[in-house]
Amino acid sequence: MHEAVLVEVEGVDLGAALGDPDRKQDQNPVEWFHVRPRTVAVGDAIWVALHSRSAAWDGKTKASLRVLLQGGGGALDGSFPLQQTKIPLTYVTTSADLKTLLIHVRNRRCGDRGENR
């Protein structure tokens, strides 16, 4: 078993970037990230989640993602597609009983926007 020790998106070490007190928040490609499970064996599936509100992502169609394990082995080295949402989603979750999907959106301006569901 090995621990995931490095997560890079677009060549930026997320752990170092988010832990650097001298780095401005708008310089970071993401606001938070998670790798689950943190400890994996070679060949195990891993899940990477990240969140960003940075305008630096606007117009991009894909981004690189790399996860390295303790000892230098690679768990993941690839890319993922990007697509900007038409409605500003803040997050999606479920109710406690898992029967209802809750979609949270941010209203960028006041008044009726005429959004269709």
pLDDT in tens, 21-77: 676 666 677 888 888 888 887 778 888 888 887 778 888 899 998 888 887 777 788
Residue 52 burial by CB count (10 A; 0-12/13-18/19+): exposed, middle or buried? middle
2: pLDDT strictly greater than 70? yes
Q: What is the pLDDT of residues 79-106, one digit of tens each?
A: 989 877 777 777 788 899 989 999 888 7
List of residues 6+ apart from 34 with CB closer than 8 A: 47, 48, 49, 50
Q: Where are the domains of the chain?
A: 2-105
